[in-house]
Amino acid sequence: MGLIAPPISAESGFAPGFVGRIPVRNLWLLMLYASDLFRTGGTAHVAVEESPDELPDLVAEILAHAVEARLHRHLSQGYRSREEWLSRVRGRIDLLTTERRQLLDRGLVACRFAELTIDTPRNRFVRAALESVARLVKKPAVAHRCRSLAPAMWSRGVAGQPPTRAQMSADRFGRHDADDQFMVAAAKLAYDLALPTESAGGNVLAMPGREEAWVRRLFERAVGGLYAVVLSPLGWHVRCGATLQWQISSKTEGIDDILPAMRTDVVLDHGGSGRRIVIDTKFTSIVTAGWYREQSLRSGYIYQMYAYLRSQVGCGDALADSASGLLLHPAVGTMVDETVVIQGHPLRFATVDLAAKPAEIRAQLLKCVEVPC
């Protein structure tokens, strides 16, 4: 998985352990920050920034412990649809199949019914995650633990094909299966950590540029995840994917069908200090070639942030009246941190060096919002 936006674009001659010019361990760190597992406190007492190379082992241990607990209390069940020819009626009768196959002459009837089973997409996903992360961990005991738990789930009846991430995104938790949330959060992160490098291996990897959208979303979610975990205990309210409303005084009948919505990546509010920071993450170079100079900030991004800030002024929200904006870009080997105040709103333009040490990445992200590390 690679990056195409300068200055992070891949160059010829890849080094093992890197994706483009970004260390794989740093992508693992972003995955951790973006994961539900990080938000639920699964790694709260572990300084992952100090040893990101051990992250697969840590996640594998958390996943193995969660699966063992669920196996001890029995895996959660769900309903699946089945069609079968039976000697007695179960569920609904498929009249067309019954008549076409002349099943009544053989004392059978075609039935469609829902069956309670542990072979659910959720459990199959967890089993696949165990198999996947076992190939990444360095500790033999942890790898053996994961490899033994996967067959244990097979023997219990979790034998179907694992679902895709798109199918898992539609999975919803009810009150009766809330215990699965932590296990699935660990499984999603474990599944994502099976990230190939551009060194030689047995798996095929798309060349840099094919997965730009994936890494862009990962960066956005990682920023929101880190701020949610670190800043919430300090009195900050963190909103990811917040939608801002236009101040509309009148409108024509069809404008709602074509007027774009304003959706921010992250909004940070601190009532005690009266601060609001509107953050928009970008996955391009922070500067581009200008008309009359070699480097210039991208005007479209400035206009976008200006609209986010000024459109909310005068709505009766004191935080919005003095809000500041942060345009956050990733970079490799370069750092930019500049601020300008426009009509009372500070606008900050900053980069995060994704080639830096993981602890430095965390420090840079917190510095951007002026919070001590």
Can you tell me which residue has the tokens 């996943």? 63
CB 309 within 8 A of CB 275: no
Most distant CA pair in the chain, distance: 87
pTM for this prediction: 0.75
What's at 6, amino acid-wise? Answer: P
Give the domain ranges of the chain. Answer: 21-76+119-193, 82-117, 212-249+260-368
Each residue's pLDDT expressed in tens, for the chain with a length of 373 residues: 333 333 344 333 345 566 667 787 888 888 889 888 888 776 665 566 667 778 888 899 889 999 999 999 889 988 888 999 999 999 999 999 999 999 999 999 999 999 999 999 999 999 999 999 999 898 999 999 999 999 999 999 999 999 987 788 888 887 777 778 889 999 999 988 875 544 444 443 333 444 567 778 889 999 999 999 899 999 999 999 989 999 999 999 999 999 999 999 999 999 999 999 999 999 888 888 877 777 899 999 999 999 999 999 999 999 999 999 999 999 887 789 999 999 999 999 999 998 888 889 999 999 999 876 5
- Helix, strand, coil percentages (3-state) for the chain, rounded to 5, are 40, 20, 40
CATH code matching the domain that covers 212-249+260-368, chosen among 3.40.630, 3.30.565, 3.90.1570, 3.30.1540: 3.90.1570
| Phi/psi at 37 (5° precision) | -60, -40
Residues 6+ apart with CB under 8 A from 248: none
